[in-house]
Amino acid sequence: MRSAGEIARDVREGASSAGRELEIALSAIRARNDELNVFLYVDEAGARLAAQRVDEAVARGERTGPLAGVPVALKDNLCQRGIPTTCSSRILEGWRPPYNATVIDRLVAAGAVPVGKTNLDEFAMGSSTETSAFGPTRNPLDPTRVPGGSSGGSAAAVAADMTPLALGSDTGGSIRQPAALCGIVGVKPTYGLVSRYGLIAFASSLDQIGPLSRSVADAALLLEVIAGHDPRDSTSLPEPAPSLRDHLDDGVVGRRIGVVRELIDGADPEVVASVDRAAEVLRAAGAELVPLSIPELRLGLSAYYLIAPAEASSNLARFDGVRYGLRVDADDVAAMNEATRTAGFGAEVKRRIMLGTYALSAGYYDAYYGQALKVRTQMIEAFRRAYREVDLLLGATTPTVAFPFGSKTANPMSMYLSDVFTIPTNLAGEAAISVPFGVGEGGLPVGVQLLGPGRSEARLLAAGRVLELAEGRP
């Protein structure tokens, strides 16, 4: 598949059309969606109307946006007016939002063509897309293995050449981890850089929307479109979208990059080898590599699995059988609420709601949730100290390549460890990118992760571009 940038250029110049590009995407979806279960809903009629509007604007000689005619897949926790939005949960089955998420409005304004809604772990709680109420998504590179999660459907859409771009959300690694397992690029932006308005919340202080793409350049293009201040999001940074594409070829000359022991320890040997080779590529490109230890990162998993479930237990209280989606009738309101939530939520969502409610309960708040917040502060300070010494950090995205279905579902802790290298960035609210670099078991892709302080996306993308070029990607 051509890049998003190439498609938009061809549409603007008349060498192609939005309608033609959409039909290519729809054909690819029809060819493999039954096998892979990537899309939960394909909006063919709406997408054709959006493509027609782009083509009409081009014919009139009007200026079209930077994503003119580019098909884009949307994770099914992003509200889209009149389109089923389920969070892959029975409790929201059939619900159609009355409004768009800000990122969807910005995509359409940029000329993009939203194609449909992709599968995810239920309410974004998972690392494999196995907890979806509508069945798992399969990895296009090896359908016996998971695509990662929770944005597994969005990552698989790009990896299977169904769409050149997709949007995901990242609460503890849910963009970067599936990007790594599917061999594509995934960016977790600085918290507040991209509006969360219309994103159905999992953990509000951690969630962030970001791009999935085949190339660093396409990720930069999409991030420029969706970033920037939104008054409807109280956590939105009060500044315009950053200029990213202009800095893609800045390279890493003079950059100090820390190779973080805690972002490698415990990873498979092939993953460690890929990180070591990435460090050598960056050194050869002019960076100074600095061995670094940040011991506080080892506490990230424990803190995350108190903070995120605590916020989820509050956010998901709104799904009660009264206002949204599923309703299971019973003799009174309390019984109806209990019956609806029992039938509507899956096992992993129930597990995290109970864990979060316990952590927030009287007598336990200080010992668990309060303590986790203190650990989070220590981690933020540890990152701050590290970035006084170096410009960026380097490590693995995931400890392993894509794993077989069912291999971790019986042991929640084993599943949670899939995010051990990605969670710290979310707790700190900073930026990171996963770039495919090397292969591991079975020839499956390895993701290398670059981390930076808040608002460092341009530096991260430039460094990611260096690695991409070293792998022979255009």
Active-site annotation, residues: 75, 150, 174
Cα gap 415→309, rounded to integer Å: 15
Task: Choose among 31, 38, 32: nearest CA to 147.
Answer: 38
Cα gap 105→122, rounded to integer Å: 24
Can you say whether the dihedral through the CA atoms of 215, 216, 222, 225 is positive or negative? negative
Cα gap 237→240, rounded to integer Å: 8
Task: Choose among 64, 74, 69: nearest CA to 21.
Answer: 69
Can you say whether the dihedral through the CA atoms of 229, 235, 238, 240 is positive or negative? negative
| Chain position carrying tokens 């078991």 | 441
Q: Which two tokens stand for residue 442?
A: 């079975």
Q: Which two tokens stand for residue 76?
A: 């099914």
